[in-house]
C-alpha cells in the first residue's frame, strides 16, 4: 500500500520502510524549538535528567518572541533563563534585532527543510509543513525530552487530503483559503490527522500563502499540514539556504482517511467571527459591525507579501477615526525589507503604528491588548475568547487586505466595499 507524505517522513525518521496510521513510532528529530514562554519549563525539565548537554546544539533553537522585547520584569526573567541556557549550551539562538516571530524566523534562516521532522513547544510549529516537513507542536516536557535524546514519539496520523480546484479569484490569498477550509471541515475536522494540501490551485499558490495556510492546520485540530514539494518551494529555499535536503512525495495509491475537494472559484474574502476560527463568513456579508482595532502581523500574516497586500489597499486612505491600526512585521528581516520599500511610511501616513517584530497582541501579551467590549479585526490565527485581551472582547480573523479595508471603513469590510465607498465619494 502506498504512503502519504506524513507516513513517508515518519518512516524515514523511524528508520523503517513504512508506517501505518495509528502506529506509535520513535523518530529522530531534525530540529527542536522553544520560545520565551515555553523554554523556561523545558529547561527546568531537561535539567531533571542530569544531562549536561543537549543532544546536538545545532539542532536545538530558542527564539524570544512572545513577550519580547520584554514587557515587564517577569518576561525579562524568562527571556534571561532562555538566553543564558542557549549561550551556555551553544545552541541556535536568535536575539532581538536579528529575530522576530519563531515561525517567520526559522524558515527565513533556512532551518525548515523538506523531509525533516521538526518539533516545537508552540502549537503553530505545524507552519513548516509548507516546506514539506513533518512539523508539529508539543508541550515543554516533550521538548525537554527531545532536547535530551534527539528523539520523540509520534502516533502516525491518518491523512486528510484537501484538493483545491477551480480558479482562484483575484485578491484571494492563503488566509482566505484556510479560513474557508476550517469553516468547511470544522475546528476538529482534522483532529489528530495530517492535512495534505493539494490540487491545481495549490500548484500555483505562492509560498507565503502556503505558509499562512499550513500555520492554521492546528486550528482544524490537525497534528500538522503538509504541502507537496515543487519549484515554488525550491525557489523560495534557494534564496535562503544551500543545505541539502530530501523532499517526499505522496504515492499515487496512498491511503487517505478522507478526501475533501474545495472549489475556490466563487470565494470572496473570508473572515472568522468570534469565538472560533470555523465561524466563517464572506467579509462583504457582514453588515455594520463596527470595530475598535486592527492588527496586521503574526506568524500567519506577518510576511513581506502580507504587508505589501495590506499597504496596497490602504495606500492613500486614512485609518478610520475610531480605529487603531497596529502593523507588526513578522521578523526583523521583514521589517527592514518593508522599510526599504516604503511600506512603513504608507501605513504611518494612513495613521497606523508600525512596530518592531513580536507576537505581542496576538496572544493578548502587550502592544495592543483589547478592552472589555472592544472588537478587533486581526490577521492572526485564533479568535478564542480572551485570546487578545478581555474575555468579552471580540476577535474577527481575516487576511491582510480585509484587515486594511476594515481599518479604513471602521467596520468589518472587504477591499471591494472600500472601492465602492470611494467611488461614491468621488461622484
Residues in touch with ligand SF4 (CB under 6 A): 65-66, 101-103, 122, 124, 298-299, 359, 362-363, 380-381
Q: Which does 112 bind (CB under 5 to 8 A by kind): other proteins, ligand SF4, none?
A: none
DSSP state of 254: B
Residues found in the chain: 427
- Residue pair 22/270 in contact (Cβ under 8 Å)? The answer is no
Q: Which does 298 bind (CB under 5 to 8 A by kind): other proteins, ligand SF4, none?
A: ligand SF4
Q: Which does 49 bind (CB under 5 to 8 A by kind): ligand SF4, other proteins, none?
A: other proteins
Residue 180: helix, strand or coil by DSSP? helix
Q: Which does 78 bind (CB under 5 to 8 A by kind): ligand SF4, other proteins, none?
A: other proteins
Residue 44: helix, strand or coil by DSSP? helix
Does the footprint of other proteins cover residue 279 (CB under 8 A)? no
Residue 113: helix, strand or coil by DSSP? coil
Grid cell 513548516 in the structure block, residue: 128
12 torsion bin: left (phi>0), alpha (psi -120 to 50), beta (else)? alpha
> Grid coordinates standing for 167?
480558479
Does the footprint of other proteins cover residue 121 (CB under 8 A)? yes
Does the footprint of other proteins cover residue 50 (CB under 8 A)? yes
- Residue pair 127/224 in contact (Cβ under 8 Å)? The answer is no
Task: Provide, rounded to whole angstroms, the least separation between the CB of residue 177 and ligand SF4.
Answer: 18
Find the binder of other proteins among 180, 320, 333, 382 (CB under 8 A).
382
CA distance 50 to 388: 38
Helix 207-215 × helix 231-238 angle, to 10°: 100
What element of type H or E holds 337?
A: helix 332-340
Task: Provide, rounded to whole angstroms, the least separation between the CB of residue 420 and other proteins.
Answer: 36
Q: What share of the chain is helix, strand, coil (3-state, %, to 5)?
A: 40, 20, 40
Task: Provide, rounded to whole angstroms, the least separation between the CB of residue 192 and other proteins.
Answer: 5
Site string for other proteins, 24-43 (x = CB under 8 A): x------------xx-xx--
Nearer to ligand SF4, 98 or 155 (CB): 98
Contact residues for other proteins (CB under 8 A)?
A: 24, 37-38, 40-41, 44-45, 48-51, 66-67, 72, 74-75, 78, 120-123, 125, 137-142, 144-145, 148-149, 153, 155, 187-188, 191-192, 218, 221, 223, 276, 363-365, 369, 382, 384-387, 391
Amino acid at each position: 500500500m502506498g504512503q502519504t507524505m506524513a507516513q513517508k517522513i515518519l518512516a524515514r525518521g523511524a528508520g523503517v520502510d513504512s508506517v501505518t496510521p495509528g502506529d506509535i513510532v520513535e523518530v529522530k528529530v531534525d530540529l527542536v524549538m522553544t520560545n520565551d514562554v515555553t523554554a523556561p519549563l523545558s529547561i527546568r525539565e531537561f535539567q531533571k535528567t542530569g544531562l549536561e548537554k543537549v543532544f546536538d546544539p545545532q539542532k536545538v533553537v530558542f527564539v524570544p518572541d512572545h513577550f519580547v522585547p520584554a514587557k515587564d520584569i517577569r518576561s525579562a526573567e524568562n527571556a534571561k533563563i532562555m538566553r543564558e541556557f542557549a549561550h551556555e549550551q551553544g545552541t541556535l539562538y536568535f536575539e532581538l534585532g536579528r529575530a522576530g516571530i519563531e515561525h517567520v524566523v526559522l524558515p527565513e534562516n533556512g532551518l525548515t527543510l523538506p523531509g525533516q521532522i521538526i518539533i516545537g513547544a508552540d502549537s503553530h510549529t505545524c507552519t513548516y509543513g509548507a516546506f514539506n516537513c513533518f512539523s508539529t507542536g508539543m508541550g515543554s516536557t516533550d521538548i525537554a525530552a527531545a532536547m535530551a535524546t534527539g528523539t520523540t514519539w509520534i502516533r502516525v496520523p491518518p491523512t486528510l487530503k484537501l484538493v483545491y480546484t477551480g480558479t482562484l479569484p483575484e485578491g484571494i490569498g492563503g488566509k482566505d483559503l484556510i479560513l474557508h477550509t476550517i469553516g468547511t471541515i470544522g475546528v476538529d475536522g482534522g483532529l489528530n490527522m495530517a492535512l495534505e494540501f493539494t490540487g491545481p490551485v495549490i500548484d500555483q499558490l505562492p509560498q507565503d500563502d502556503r505558509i499562512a495556510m499550513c500555520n492554521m492546520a492546528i486550528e482544524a485540530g490537525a497534528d500538522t499540514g503538509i504541502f507537496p514539494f515543487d519549484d515554488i518551494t525550491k525557489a523560495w529555499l534557494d534564496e535562503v539556504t544551500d543545505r541539502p535536503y530530501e523532499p517526499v512525495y505522496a504515492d499515487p495509491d496512498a491511503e487517505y482517511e478522507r478526501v475533501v475537494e474545495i472549489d475556490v472559484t466563487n470565494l470572496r474574502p473570508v473572515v472568522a467571527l468570534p469565538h472560533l476560527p470555523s465561524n466563517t463568513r464572506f467579509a462583504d456579508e457582514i453588515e455594520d459591525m463596527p470595530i475598535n482595532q486592527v492588527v496586521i502581523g503574526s506568524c500567519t500574516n506577518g510576511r513581506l507579501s502580507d504587508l505589501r497586500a495590506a499597504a496596497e489597499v490602504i495606500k492613500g486612505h486614512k485609518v478610520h477615526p475610531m480605529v487603531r491600526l497596529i502593523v507588526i512585521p513578522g521578523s526583523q528581516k521583514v521589517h527592514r525589507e518593508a522599510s526599504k520599500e516604503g511600506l512603513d511610511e504608507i501605513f504611518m501616513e494612513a495613521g497606523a503604528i508600525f512596530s518592531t517584530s513580536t507576537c505581542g497582541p496576538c496572544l493578548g501579551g502587550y502592544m495592543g491588548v483589547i478592552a472589555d467590549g472592544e472588537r478587533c479585526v486581526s490577521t492572526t490565527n485564533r479568535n478564542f475568547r480572551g485570546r487578545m485581551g478581555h474575555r468579552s472582547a471580540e476577535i474577527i480573523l481575516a487576511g491582510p487586505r480585509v484587515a486594511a479595508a476594515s481599518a479604513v471603513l471602521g467596520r468589518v469590510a472587504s477591499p471591494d466595499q472600500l472601492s465602492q465607498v470611494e467611488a461614491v465619494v468621488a461622484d
